[in-house]
Amino acid sequence: MSMEQQDKEFIRNYGIIIGLLVVMIVIFLVVARIFGIDTEAYAEQRAEQIGEATKPVGEVRMEGEEAAAAPAAQVAATDPAAPAAEASPADVGKQVYSGLCFSCHGTGLPGIPQFGDKAAWADRIAAGTALLHEHALHGFTGKSGIMMPPKGGNPALSDDQVKAAVDYMVANSQ
């Protein structure tokens, strides 16, 4: 085999290998695009979840201002923090937690005991539920410096609803 033939064969083989690599890269990119995570959709979904979990629980109005009747009625009809009177205390606690308490105790905020975190709740539970009820009803600023507002920031909640939410979180964090 002459040197010229060897060169032609080498270039042909090299071209085939490069071609196959390009085809494989294109296949991998197509597969990754089809089965990969859509980061924009994930970011939008996460933003919606955070917005829902941290939405305001009330509004501030100056004396003499009138509230818009339709939004207030709509909020009252869909407010998970206002459970039906016939619900059991456990159901009331779950509803209040899901509608309000979750925004701090279920989102991983640092310095706040998270729902189900036994280690974070252990000292608090050991202090007694009466103290936990008092802190939830009247507000409390712990060692982290983050304030627990009275009634979680929703003064429309009854004392029994707040206590039921505390009991629900304690029961699921022991």
DSSP structure string for 12-32: HHHHHHHHHHHHHHHHHHHHH
- Per-residue pLDDT band for 82 (boundaries 50, 70, 90) equals very low
CA dihedral of residues 66, 70, 75, 76 (deg, nearest 10): 90
- Per-residue pLDDT band for 14 (boundaries 50, 70, 90) equals very high
| Bridge partners, residue 97, by sequence | none
In single-letter form, the type of residue at position 52 comes to E
Token pair, residue 12, equals 């042909």
Per-residue pLDDT of 38-63, as tens digits, reads 777 778 888 888 888 887 777 777 88
Are 83 and 92 in contact by the 8 Å Cβ rule? The answer is yes
Output the average pLDDT for the chain. Answer: 83
